[in-house]
Structure 1
Amino acid sequence: MTISETQTNPQTEAQTVIAIAHLAHYFGTGELRKQVLHDIHLTIAAGEIVIMTGPSGSGKTTLLTLMGGLRSVQTGSLQFLGVELCGATAAQLVYIRRHIGYIFQAHNLHGSLTALQNVRIGLELHPQYNIAEMRDRAIHALETVGLGDRLNYYPANLSGGQKQRVAIARALVSQPKLLLADEPTAALDRQSGRDVVTLMQKLAQEQGCTILLVTHDNRILDVADRIIAMEDGRLLVQPSP
């Protein structure tokens, strides 16, 4: 399916956001080549909240980055909104990234930018917005996550929970179809972690966004519609909480 077909086929978007079949991935070359993902099959429907668990080194982050178009798909099929990522062109990858929000454990805020400027970055791949519109949307996003009084604060002057709220605002400011979150609560205390996940859940549901969240935090599993687990590069389906 081409990009234009995907854009004019809302039925496809309404049913399936991610469709993966026979996906494998390797690191290294020659004698050092190592297989890190083995025959992955996974379908994620629009609006689902899916949590992925598993030990360190099991392949969770690798799979997440492949879904987000941050790594090249080597073998098998990985479709996002009907667009095949295996062999995707540069234009297709840009299209894909415009529809995905990313939240990481370390929040990845730019220390030299204010909260407002950090969130506005989330709109820079979207040429339909002018500077004034980007500012207005960024302000609204920060107000939505409870940081309307921290617009001009730099990351060094924000708490860990506040930094992750800025990261959530940045990820959701463009109203993406898919939100990928890699250990978003790992650096937070219990209450801050719960608050962050509850906020992600609320905002994503309001926007009709699908969530795939990687975590070791068993305290937040109850937000999931479905739990999947990675072990030695293989995907295991777990019962829902």
Structure 2
Amino acid sequence: MTKYALQLNNVSKVYQDGENENTVLDNISLKVKPGEFVAIVGPSGSGKSTMLSIAGALLSNTKGEVIIGDTLLDNNKKNWNLVRREKIGFIFQSHQLIPYLNVGDQLNLIAKISKKKNKKEFEVYADELLEDLGLLDSKNKYPNKLSGGEKQRVAIARAFMNQPDVILADEPTASLDGARGRQVVEMIRKEVKKRNKAAIMVTHDERILDLVDIIYRIENGKIQVCK
């Protein structure tokens, strides 16, 4: 049986709107293997970000089950912090770097939170990531000295630092021009393949869809495979 890094099984999300119910996700299922890079597309308001939030243990689902690695998310949200810390890496629209930390310290902060490895192992891993992403010479720079593309590459390195099962990227190219945006997604793909991680990217940028393995489209709360 195939080992999946992420499974959404018959997941629905329903909001109560007065006397009415608003169904944002309607019985969707999605499975992503380690090393697989998936894109989610669809019109604004179709449920893409809601699905990503549920997959990232940020939002509860109304029905169905969410399995990350070998962990079934239950109703005890105290366990969700541990899941996010150890099993998920996030890349947001905005890099969300801490302005008073240099590049190296941005990654070291994740190391301290994760507690998965000893300090020396984390330092070696951090340097490896920075070298992969062309950032090793910028290790001592602060965010205000980095370009937009460089900041987003630091965010990629940070997402991989805790060696998660799943990488979740929410519009990672939204603030970048076409060339820089493509470079960033190429680097996400490279790290996903090299480190055998599952990745889901929500995007409106059709110019980068050739870089993913599978494209899903969400519309009216339903999901289907496009590629």
Query: Does the TM-score normalized on the shorter chain lie above 0.5?
Result: yes
What are the equivalent positions in structure 2 for 1:84-99 lying under 5 Å apart? Answer: 84-88=72-76, 90-91=78-79, 93-95=81-83, 97-99=85-87
What are the equivalent positions in structure 2 for 1:35-184 lying under 5 Å apart? Answer: 35-88=23-76, 90-91=78-79, 93-95=81-83, 97-184=85-172
- Give the letter aligned to residue 131 of structure 2: E
What are the equivalent positions in structure 2 for 1:214-233 lying under 5 Å apart? Answer: 214-233=202-221
Task: Give how far 1:76 is off.
Answer: 1.3
CA contact (8 A) 2:8 2:55 kept: no
Which residue does the alignment assign to 1:6? none
CA contact (8 A) 1:85 1:93 kept: no
Partner Cα distance (2:47, 2:15) in 1: 11
Task: Give how far 1:31 is off.
Answer: 3.5
Task: Give how far 1:28 is off.
Answer: 5.1
- Give the letter aligned to residue 50 of structure 1: V
- Give the letter aligned to residue 59 of structure 2: R
The reply on whether 1:22 has 2:3 as its aligned counterpart is no
Moved runs in structure 1, 4+ residues, more than 4 A?
none
Partner Cα distance (1:152, 1:17) in 2: 34
Task: Give how far 1:96 is off.
Answer: 5.1
Partner Cα distance (2:195, 2:174) in 1: 25
**Secondary structure in 1 aligned to 2:136?**
coil
Task: Give how far 1:16 is off.
Answer: 1.3
CA contact (8 A) 2:53 2:59 kept: yes
Task: Give how far 1:114 is off.
Answer: 1.1
Deviation larger for 108-117 or 134-143: 134-143
Aligned residues: percent identity? 37
CA contact (8 A) 1:73 1:85 kept: no
Structure 1 segments unaligned to the other structure (5+ residues) = 1-10
Which residue does the alignment assign to 1:8? none
Partner Cα distance (1:57, 1:74) in 2: 18
Return closer, same or farther for 1:128/1:82 CA change in 2, 3 Å cut-off.
Answer: closer
TM-score, scaled to structure 1:
0.85
- Give the letter aligned to residue 64 of structure 1: L
- Which structure is higher in RCO with an 8 Å CA cutoff and minimum separation 6? 2
Partner Cα distance (1:83, 1:155) in 2: 35
The reply on whether 1:209 has 2:187 as its aligned counterpart is no
Structure 2 segments unaligned to the other structure (5+ residues) = none
TM-score, scaled to structure 2:
0.90
Deviation larger for 44-53 or 79-88: 79-88
